[in-house]
Copies of this chain bind each other. A is one copy, B any other.
Amino acid sequence: MSKSKIAVLVIEDEAPIRRFLKMTLTSQGYDFSEAVSGQEGMLKVASEKPDIIILDLGLPDMDGLEVTKQLREWTPTPIIVLSARGQEKDKVEALDAGADDYLTKPFGVAELMARARVALRRTMTSSNGETQSVFKFGDVEVDFVKRQVTKAGKELHLTPIEYKLLATLIKYADRVVTHNHLLREAWGSEYSGETHYLRVYMAQLRRKLEKNPAQPKYLITEPGVGYRLKVSQ
Chain A residues near B (Cβ < 8 Å): 76, 88-89, 91-92, 95-96, 99-101, 108, 110-111, 113-115, 117-118, 122, 125-128, 145-148, 155, 159-160, 174-176, 222-225, 228, 233
Contact = CB atoms under 8 A, between A and B. Distances in A.
Contacts of A100: 118, 122
Copies of this chain present: 2
Nearest to A175: B146
Contact of A160 (B76, B114, B118, B225): B225
Nearest to A122: B122
A52 to B, nearest CB: 14
List the 7 shortest-distance A-B pairs measured between CB atoms, nearest first: A147-B176, A88-B108, A95-B114, A92-B114, A160-B224, A126-B126, A146-B175
B114 A96 contact: yes
Contacts of A128: 126-127
B159 A176 contact: no
Contacts of A224: 159-160
Contacts of A225: 147, 160
Given A96-B117, A118-B100, A175 B159 contact: no
